[in-house]
Amino acid sequence: MVRQVIQTKQTYAAAGVDISAADRAKELIKKHARSTLRPEVLSDIGFFGGFFEIKGYREPVLVSSTDGVGTKLKIASILGKHDTVGIDLVNHCVNDILTCGAEPLFFLDYIALGKMVPETVEAIVKGLAVACREVNCALIGGETAEMPGMYAPDDYDLAGFIVGVVEKSQRLDQSRIREGDAILALPSSGLHTNGYSLARKLFGTEPAALNKRYPELGRTLGEALLEPHRCYFNEIKPVLRWVKGLAHITGGGFEGNVPRVLPKGLGAHFDKGSWSVPPIFSLIQRQGRIDDAEMYRVFNMGVGMAIVCSPEDVRRLKKSMPEAKPVGEVIKQKGKTRVLID
């Protein structure tokens, strides 16, 4: 007996990629992206590339950076709240190029999903657009990829690429920093986008754990963990002439970021009691019985941006930025350690 084999007609959708859903997502996000466009943008959303004309600079130096949101996305997915992770991503990238003295020009995003859900994509891009508008940065393009088999249906990843510009003579580097310079700090809004793998290990990712309300937080754990990464551009841009260096305290904490802006042979001393540590960090430390050294190596501990300036410029910077607090000074390096916190 001959068995007849009947083959089912195959489609891309049957393989897990829904082109129609992707097209709908693109239509939903266009209005958000268009709301960020500047006059220098010479192309509409949806072309193969984005055009941006640089104006107003004698010797423009382009500054670029790329980053992601990390496992903070897991918290967003579990809680079904996707409208703040885009803010996280843009603000992180803006802060990174700000350390060079750069103004953001345009931004591109990359979203990879296990299953295309147009409303989720729209929520993510809405957050991107909100943050871009705050700093006059054009959301000039991006890529949304449905990748079944690579990601679980409810999972996604989010990354971004930013380009900014600074006048060549005004770029920030290590050359002006001297021993005895002051260090100011602008407060963080929480974990920003670092340390979430440890936080998830300590508290778990069950909705009940994330929805638990803690008196010291004044809200649920999940709400505290999803607090957006703070942007410092609008505060620091007007006073850049008095700034010698900026350290964005992200992955690697103080030791991993402050030395990046210091000349060889110099270190930094921070007075631990000179700023307030947000309660989310105390809760994490208590939950995991984590020692101080590990906390300052992993988390920002309430310092989102460290500002190096001459001692005589401290007063004017504090006047312009009331939240800025003197937290330390530049010192000669002692041994292999470049950052002292005590």
Q: For 199-208, how does the pLDDT look when each residue is reduced to its tens digit (9 = 90+)? A: 999 999 999 9
pLDDT at 2 over 60: no
Q: Which residues contact 283 (CB under 8 A, 6 or more apart)?
A: 214, 216, 217, 221
Q: Which of 333, 340, 174 is nearest to 267 (CA)?
A: 333
Task: pLDDT band for 213, please (50, 70, 90 cuts).
Answer: very high
Confidence (pTM): 0.94
- The mean pLDDT value for 136-154 works out to 95
Q: Which helix (H) or strand (E) holds 245?
A: strand 245-248
Residue 4: predicted pLDDT: 60
Question: Domains of the chain: which residue ranges?
Answer: 19-170, 182-341
Q: Where are the alpha helices (DSSP H) in 41-195?
A: 72-79, 85-98, 118-134
Task: pLDDT band for 12, please (50, 70, 90 cuts).
Answer: confident
Q: Which helix (H) or strand (E) holds 221?
A: helix 221-225
- The CATH number that domain 182-341 falls under is 3.90.650.10
Q: Which residues pair with 307 in a beta bridge?
A: 184, 246
Q: Where are the alpha helices (DSSP H) in 18-173?
A: 19-34, 72-79, 85-98, 118-134
Task: pLDDT band for 7, please (50, 70, 90 cuts).
Answer: low
Task: pLDDT band for 21, please (50, 70, 90 cuts).
Answer: confident
Decide if 19-170 and 182-341 have a common fold: no
The domain 19-170 belongs to what CATH superfamily? PurM-like, N-terminal domain (3.30.1330.10)
The phi, psi pair for 64, rounded to 5°, reads -125, 155
Helices vs. strands in the chain: H and E counts, helices first:
12, 12
Q: What is the mean pLDDT of the chain?
A: 94
